[in-house]
Structure 1
Amino acid sequence: MANRSYLYSTGNRPESYEDRPETVSGLSEWPYAIPFSFLVLLSGDPRLCASLIADGFDGEPPECKTTLYAISGEFDAGFARLAKFAAAVRAVSNAEGLHAGLAEAERFLHEHRDRYVLLETIELDTMIESGEDELRALIEGHLGLCRAAGAAIDALPDDAAAAGAVLAAAAAERSAPPLDAFHGLVLTDDFDNTRDDRTENPIGLSWWTDVLYFALWNRAEYAANQPNQ
């Protein structure tokens, strides 16, 4: 396993592994973490849904498959929150790399927008747990983080300069909820630098691509690749 979280745009909220979207595109992947930008993008009415990466574990009989979950959120609501966050960051930080990362994120996401965003965390979760109930508890924890990220951005002032000041203060020193979701964000060009321990809370702006380790089939591709089709 690659031990990453995976982000996609999709045309539906999958109710089962077989419930494939008409449209699906990769967006990003991140090693050993769920970066803040992923949580923000999933913050629009996030809900548990079926994983499209795995239908249970290898070797399980069809009648006893472990139920595996992902998280689905409304694309436009999450994208709007990310844009508000980006405006606040631009108002408070002069870091050129950070500005470039925000611009690339907005450009790429605009070009790959769909009705929903899908977050797959099964690789990360199975590093910790293997039981169905325990895995569901982990994904519900991620769901809470998505809601918390959205609430933090909603709590920022509408004025970008004022929002930037609140964001910078909350990133530097832990605040009460909902602003505590910003704690640990780095608003310099080390915003994603986890290798040198510059941050344990990456924003996640360094890797946008529609070619991910797991390329999910859309509905037509899934049907064409089933036995006896």
Structure 2
Amino acid sequence: MANRCYLYSTNVIPGASDELDDRKMIGIAEWDYEIPIVSKLLLSGNPKTCRSSLWENPEEIALIGDYASGVKNLENFLSQIELEAAQNLIAETIEFLNRPENQNQYFVFECGEIFDMGDTPLFEQNLALLEELKNMQPEVERALQSLVPPPIEVHKSAGFFAKLFGRTSKSSVPVHDLMKSIDDLGLGNWSNILYFDFSGD
């Protein structure tokens, strides 16, 4: 098993009694082993549980959210990131999500493979994730804080010119891997071709 989570856009709610024969399931992204904040924000527009399109499970172990609201929530988050190193990924993300061929009424999120790595029933884990989506502010604040470069500290014993020009020894600068923090957001995984493909439906 791949142990991934999968994000699609769709025009109907999976498992709904009035599900259309012309259902669309457009691949948007997939992530290995983790559920990144980017995916959570995209699902945060009026999120609800729904039936899975990947698992034969009678319980609602997938999530669905409003596409337009989710994109807006993500754009609000990304607009607060000032790191130059993240700007290309941010631009790529916004461009991909705003392509007409990717847009539908809903996002649908399939985390069954991630949930299956734990011991808690899939439905309970899905409900816990739903509660996270309803209060994203603490996680948003942590993510933004992780993207703030540490201040450059001048050692107390530094000379006049070192203080004047901000020179400092390497040991006085905290280790902070900003590129890892950017990568942890979940940007850069956009693709219409996912492991589970519905384009032939």
TM-superposed CA distance for 1:216, in Å, is: 2.7
Answer yes or no: is the 8 Å Cα contact 1:53–1:216 preserved in 2.
Answer: no
Q: Tell me how far apart the structure 1 counterparts of residues 185 and 196 of structure 2 sit (CA, whole Å).
A: 22
Among 106, 111, 115, the residue aligned to 1:116: 106
Answer whether contact 2:64 2:107 (CA < 8 A) is retained. yes
Size of the aligned set, in residue pairs, is 167
Conserved? CA contact 2:37–2:139, under 8 Å: no
Identity %, equivalent residues = 28
Instruction: Quote the residue 1:148 is aligned against.
Output: 135
> What is the rounded CA distance, in whole Å, between the counterparts of 2:76 and 2:49 in structure 1?
25
| Preserved CA contact (<8 Å) 1:4 1:124 | yes
Are 2:33 and 1:32 equivalent residues in the alignment? yes
Please, which of 178, 196, 200 is the counterpart of residue 214 of structure 1?
A: 196
- Give ranges in structure 2 of 5+ residues lacking alignment: 148-177
**Equivalent-residue separation in structure 2 for 1:25 and 1:17 (angstroms):** 21
Offset, 1:208: 0.5
Alignment root-mean-square deviation, CA: 2.3
Structure 1 unpaired stretches of 5+:
57-65, 153-178, 194-201, 222-229
Does residue 1:41 correspond to 2:39, yes or no?
Answer: no
Structure 2 Cα separation of the partners of residues 203 and 18 of structure 1: 35
> Which residue of structure 1 lines up, in the alignment, with residue 84 of structure 2?
95
CA distance in 2, matches of 1:70, 1:217: 19
Which residue of the partner structure matches residue 55 of structure 2?
A: 54
Are 2:63 and 2:130, in contact at CA under 8 Å, matched by a contact in 1? yes
TM-score when scaled to structure 2? 0.75
Q: So what's the TM-score if we normalise by structure 1?
A: 0.66
1:53 maps to amino acid: L
What SS is found at the alignment partner of 2:134? helix
* Structure with larger Rg: 2
